Amino acid sequence: MSPQKSIQGRARQIITSYHGPRLRIMEVCGTHTHEIFRLGLRQLLPPDIDLISGPGCPVCVTPIRFIDEAIYLACSEHVTICTFGDLVRVPGTNMNLGEARAKGAKVQVVYTPLDAITYAQEHPDEQIVFLSVGFETTTPASCLAVRRAKNAELKNFMLLTANKTMDAAYLAMAKSCDAYLYPGHVCAITGTRKLHMLAKKNDISGAVAGFTANELLTALAVIIKNVQKKRPFLINAYPRVVREEGNPAAQKLTSTYMQPCDAEWRGLGTMTGSGMKLRPEYAAFDARRRFSIPDLISHANPACRCGEILQGKCQPTDCPLYGKVCTPDHPVGACMVSREGTCSAYYQYSSGA
């Protein structure tokens, strides 16, 4: 047997043989949500372990107001919204960006923020607004785009920011679980120092996990073993990628162009210091400063339970719209849009799909 198979076997045994007090483990990474479903790991879990999907999908936690702001700008004269494809399908209060485009709004799908720079260079008569959404992993790319735009003296490129950092979410959700399955790629950027502090100062436990079956099983087994010792812990179970110091170059890029701000999270409300916005010296690249966006009154479909799902309070199948009115082809809420959204992952991989 290969060493990898034997590690996997041992981890499986630890997980499946767990009997004890109910254990709630929360994954806060859309890729983990998707991979755990795809690999069928939920089926391995004994009844005493709940694996909860938390607020780890950046599209899912983006508030409806942000989509409404983007639609407002897309409908403005000489403004083109550049965005990743997923955001086009996220419902706003009255419509999504795709529907706005069908009514004449200018919405362009791009694959990277740098594509939006190219688009801005090719369309000098248009004001190009890139929808900057995501966690620590994607924020540096938006900052890199601002650097490129500044160096190229581009006057028609801006960001509409809804960037977020995970630390505040870990604190906000701490009572919802006994331990976190921390997101490997976020931790590759941030490092593990803050997570050690969360364990030490806030009694928040967890293990950093990679994305293969072996890495996910190992991290789950590590959590189960350590929870039983009844002491807060942080274990890096993804050491081939995650270092204590993280990625200093990416951290520097972000801190050069952005600063912390309060941010609204779908389902969690506004959390102090949990967002990132452009620094005042880069105001020329900030769509909120360049345009007067009115204070929009936004609201989601009242039947959609995305907010509770993102807090681990209910499952997609508890939503009356799940699989009937709301499907990946016709998403009613943000959690059904991205492949990494909890409702979408349930729909793709559950037997009821």
Q: How far apart are CA 164 and CA 276, in angstroms?
A: 6
Is 335 among the residues that bind ligand SF4 (CB under 6 A)? Answer: yes
Q: Provide CB contacts within 8 A for 47, sequence distance 6+.
A: none
Is 305 among the residues that bind ligand SF4 (CB under 6 A)? Answer: yes
Q: Please, which residue, 91 or 184, has the CB nearer to ligand SF4?
A: 91
Is 321 among the residues that bind ligand SF4 (CB under 6 A)? Answer: yes
Residues 202-241 that bind ligand SF4 (CB under 6 A): none
Is 306 among the residues that bind ligand SF4 (CB under 6 A)? Answer: yes
Q: Per-residue DSSP letters for 121-184?
A: HH-TTSEEEEEEEESTTTHHHHHHHHHHHHHTT-SSEEEEEEEE-HHHHHHHTGGG-SEEEEEH
**Strand 206-209 versus strand 179-183 pairing type:** parallel
Q: Please, which residue, 28 or 144, has the CB nearer to ligand SF4?
A: 28
Q: How far apart are CA 22 and CA 283, in angstroms?
A: 49
| Contacting residue, 319, 338, 340, 345, with ligand SF4 by CB under 6 A | 319
Placement of tokens 């204070």 in the chain: 295
| Contacting residue, 304, 310, 338, 345, with ligand SF4 by CB under 6 A | 304
Size of the site for ligand SF4 (CB under 6 A): 14
| Contacting residue, 316, 338, 340, 345, with ligand SF4 by CB under 6 A | 316
Q: Please, which residue, 91 or 183, has the CB nearer to ligand SF4?
A: 91
Q: Please, which residue, 148 or 266, has the CB nearer to ligand SF4?
A: 266
Q: Provide CB contacts within 8 A for 225, sequence distance 6+.
A: 14
Q: Please, which residue, 283 or 303, has the CB nearer to ligand SF4?
A: 303
Q: How far is the CB of 329 from ligand SF4 (least distance, A)?
A: 12
Sequence letter at residue 93: T
> In a 10 Å sphere around its CB, with 0-12 CB exposed, 13-18 middle and 19+ buried, how is residue 40 labelled?
exposed
Site stretch for ligand SF4 (CB under 6 A), options 136-144, 185-193, 237-245, 318-326: 318-326
| Contacting residue, 129, 187, 343, 345, with ligand SF4 by CB under 6 A | 343
| Contacting residue, 332, 338, 340, 345, with ligand SF4 by CB under 6 A | 332
Is 64 among the residues that bind ligand SF4 (CB under 6 A)? Answer: no
Q: Please, which residue, 232 or 333, has the CB nearer to ligand SF4?
A: 333
Q: How far is the CB of 313 from ligand SF4 (least distance, A)?
A: 11
Q: What token pair was written down for 208?
A: 């950093």
Q: What are residue 166's phi and psi, to 5 degrees? A: -80, -20
Is 91 among the residues that bind ligand SF4 (CB under 6 A)? Answer: no
The answer to whether the CB of 335 falls within 8 A of the CB of 79 is no
Query: Helices (DSSP H) in the chain: which residue ranges?
Result: 3-16, 30-38, 58-61, 64-74, 85-88, 97-102, 113-122, 139-151, 166-172, 184-190, 193-202, 213-227, 248-257, 287-290, 306-310, 342-349
Q: How far is the CB of 266 from ligand SF4 (least distance, A)?
A: 10
Is 59 among the residues that bind ligand SF4 (CB under 6 A)? Answer: no
Q: Provide CB contacts within 8 A for 210, sequence distance 6+.
A: 184, 216, 219, 237, 238, 240, 241
Q: What are residue 79's phi and psi, to 5 degrees? A: -115, 135
| Contacting residue, 336, 338, 340, 345, with ligand SF4 by CB under 6 A | 336
| Contacting residue, 59, 173, 174, 326, with ligand SF4 by CB under 6 A | 326
Residue ranges binding ligand SF4 (CB under 6 A) = 304-306, 309, 316, 319, 321-322, 326, 332-333, 335-336, 343
